Chain A
Amino acid sequence: MNTFYNEILTDHNLHPGNKHDLPDANYILEGVNPSCGDDIILKLRVEDGMVKDGAYTGDGCAISQASADIMLDLVIGKSVQEAEELSEIFVRMITGSISGEEAERLEEAGALQDISHMPSRVKCAVLGWHTLDEILRHPEKTV
């Protein structure tokens, strides 16, 4: 069956490895899709230009939650600059197109590519990534 609810997505939704609190976070930002109620609170520990650790909490559809979980798997341990690049590539994958090389850099996040065919769900898929990009560029927004 043709489904974008593939195993990668459902597994990250049901068994999210990064969905928990992060007491020593120094970057914290909430991302909300008001129209559908998706809501995540992204927490990162950023030191020396590196995303040392990250986690999220929140509620929402499987796409918003799994996407955030996959994103954290990808960016934890990477530099802030790389995380920003990956965020840009991910959003471009959903809203436009990316090269094969860029797709490789996204690893599991590439499993969300088919969301681009569902315009009403694009905002769910990019919620975590927009929130990541926002807090990395504007750490002063930390709540």
Chain B
Amino acid sequence: MTENCRNTEKQMQRGGSCPAEAVRKDFPILTERTAYLDNAATTQKPRCVIEAVKRFYEEENANPLRGLYELSAAATQEYEDAREAVQGFIGASFPEEIIFTRNTTESLNLIAYSWALNNLGPGDGILTSVEEHHSNLLPWQMAAKKTGASLYYLEPDREGRISGEAFRAALKPGTKLAAVTQVSNVLGAENDIRLFAEIAHEAGAVFVCDGAQSVPHMKVDVRELDVDFLAFSGHKMLGPMGIGVLYGKKALLEEMDPFLRGGEMIRSVSLDGASWAQLPAKFEAGTVNAAGAAGLHAAIRYYEKLGWDRITEAERELTRYAIEGMKKIPFVKILGSPDPERHNAIVTFTVEGVHPHDIAAIMDEDHICVRAGHHCAQPLMNFLGVSSSARASFAFYNTKEEIDRFLVCLGSLRRRMGYED
């Protein structure tokens, strides 16, 4: 913990429950003017993360893993320390099971290109679901097309849940890979990933978990879930943009071909070919994002200091407060479960007669940031029968006052659009 996150530390020394007022001081961008409720898109960054990136460039910048001098060794150390921090954060068995990528999208594409293209063929199957973010859909469409494998889609219920029975029934003979999100980025519904992984393994399939919306909001332990791959982004969990993670079981990663080829991922190169470096370097071609990794490391320390109990309780309370308030406003329809406990800090909604882009624009006039559109999940929107929707998503640093502002604005939308309700 650097001195830059001392507000939180002080708060916790007092044994307080870490109310948002204390935490907010750690986030330079958070002001009273703007209510930032688009945390599922990206979270804000605490000062310690910003300082870690700055410190790397001011004090440790050199190309990691290459230079035979002190500065490069320091950069390498910073980078590898970050890897071990991620390993601990998600409970991986080995540091080399942590591959640094740019983001969830790149992590999932890595699996599609390096595993799926080399392990699938005609007669094989890929199973994914209708509620996936395009990042966990398009790579599999590509892999199916290129290999001749069949692609199957699970349908969730209206609340976004997929049952174990539905998952089991959808696993056809020959299905070699199943890829499902832990938490839907639209409905907030959580899937029973541990059960899905178990069923997939019984059927001989590899299980891929999209953790983009779960890892930032709940304890995710890869050994407990027994997933083969887990993909997530640093920027959705207080870290910098441009650093993401692919966790993969060592035995699988070792068998896989590289995704990108180039610098620092080889053992030797000749004009006839090359052999590859050990894990994790094999999957980290080119100069790495060491400053981003340092920032992610600081973000993980921040999570660990705060503790999951405080984070999940604060976010659960905010979600409950928002949904209870929204239910009282006429013409507002919440997508997914009516139960706030099933939303994981994500509330997607429509307002009858007001287009979601107009909702977001009017919210913006009141300095409230919400997302509008298809949320990179067009097949899910089609499945739900809505062309677009608005989404408010929370983080532990949001306040009830911000939610109150959101609710007041939400209640004013139709009047401001000219309706005389």
B275 within 8 Å of A (CB atoms)? no
Q: A37-B374, A37-B388, A121-B357 are in contact. Are A62 and B417 (CB under 8 A)?
A: yes
B157 within 8 Å of A (CB atoms)? no
A59 surroundings in chain B (CB, below 8 A)? 387
B416 within 8 Å of A (CB atoms)? yes
Q: A3-B362, A3-B365, A5-B362 are in contact. Are A13 and B357 (CB under 8 A)?
A: no
Interface readout for B285-303 with A: 1 if CB under 8 Å, 0 if not? 0000000000000000000
Interface readout for A1-27 with B: 1 if CB under 8 Å, 0 if not? 111110100110110000000000000
Q: How far is the CA of A13 from the CA of B355 in the complex (A)?
A: 11
Q: B359 — nearest CB in chain A belongs to which residue?
A: A61
Task: Judge whether B418 and A13 touch: CB under 8 Å.
Answer: yes
Shortest C-beta distance, B67 to chain A (Å), equals: 43
Shortest C-beta distance, A37 to chain B (Å), equals: 5
Task: Judge whether B365 and A2 touch: CB under 8 Å.
Answer: yes
B416 surroundings in chain A (CB, below 8 A)? 3, 5, 10
Q: A37-B388, A61-B355, A63-B358 are in contact. Are A14 and B417 (CB under 8 A)?
A: yes
* A:50-97 near B, CB below 8 Å: 59-63
* B:272-331 near A, CB below 8 Å: none
A62 surroundings in chain B (CB, below 8 A)? 354-355, 358, 417
Shortest C-beta distance, B49 to chain A (Å), equals: 27
A118 within 8 Å of B (CB atoms)? yes
Residue in A3, A7, A61, A63 with the greatest tally of chain B CB atoms within 10 Å: A61
Interface readout for B350-373 with A: 1 if CB under 8 Å, 0 if not? 000011111001100100000001
Q: A5-B362, A61-B355, A118-B361 are in contact. Are A37 and B417 (CB under 8 A)?
A: no
Q: Interface size for chain B: under 10, 10 to 19, 20 to 34, or 35 or more residues?
A: 10 to 19
Q: How far is the CA of A128 from the CA of B361 in the complex (A)?
A: 20
A36 within 8 Å of B (CB atoms)? yes
Set A35, A37, A121: member contacting B387, Cβ < 8 A: A37
A124 within 8 Å of B (CB atoms)? yes
Q: How far is the CA of A1 from the CA of B418 in the complex (A)?
A: 14
Task: Judge whether B358 and A1 touch: CB under 8 Å.
Answer: no
Q: How far is the CA of A43 from the CA of B388 in the complex (A)?
A: 26
B69 within 8 Å of A (CB atoms)? no
Question: What would be 26 A-B contacts, judged by CB atoms less than 8 Å apart?
Answer: A1-B365, A3-B365, A5-B358, A5-B361, A5-B416, A5-B417, A10-B416, A10-B417, A13-B417, A13-B418, A14-B418, A14-B419, A36-B373, A37-B374, A37-B387, A61-B358, A62-B354, A62-B355, A62-B358, A62-B417, A63-B357, A63-B358, A63-B361, A118-B361, A121-B361, A124-B357
